[in-house]
Structure 1
């Protein structure tokens, strides 16, 4: 999980392991959560499947920044 502060919000990028078949390589679902004053403002849901947890977390943070820019 990655976190950052952005325009008064706390952003979280999440990676959730998605291994459907033991014979396939691991994949990670990405999502984002935006908080302000210790309260959840909005969460993204699954944004897609990624090859690494870092890519999934980065996608979540990117979604969060875009949401703040559009709604903040």
Structure 2
């Protein structure tokens, strides 16, 4: 999980480990969360699946910053 401050909000990028079949490589589902003052403002659903935790977290952060830009 990665977080950063963005225009007064705390934005989070999450990577949720997914493994549907033991014979397939592990993948990570991405999601994003926005908080302010420790309270939830908005959360995404699954944004997509990625081959690495870093890519999934980055996708969550990109979504969260875009949400703030559109609603903040």
Q: Deviations over 1:7-29 (max 9, x none)?
A: 00001100000100111000000
2:39 counterpart residue number: 39
Structure 1 length as normaliser, TM-score?
A: 0.99
Aligned to 2:64: 64
TM-score normalised by length of structure 2: 0.99
Large movers: runs of 4+ above 3 Å? none
- Please give the root-mean-square deviation of Cα atoms over the aligned residues, in Å: 0.4
Query: Are residues 1:2 and 2:14 paired?
Result: no
Q: How many residues are matched?
A: 72
Which stretches in structure 2 are left out of the alignment for 5+ residues?
A: none
Tell me the distance in 2 between the aligned counterparts of 1:65 and 1:11: 7
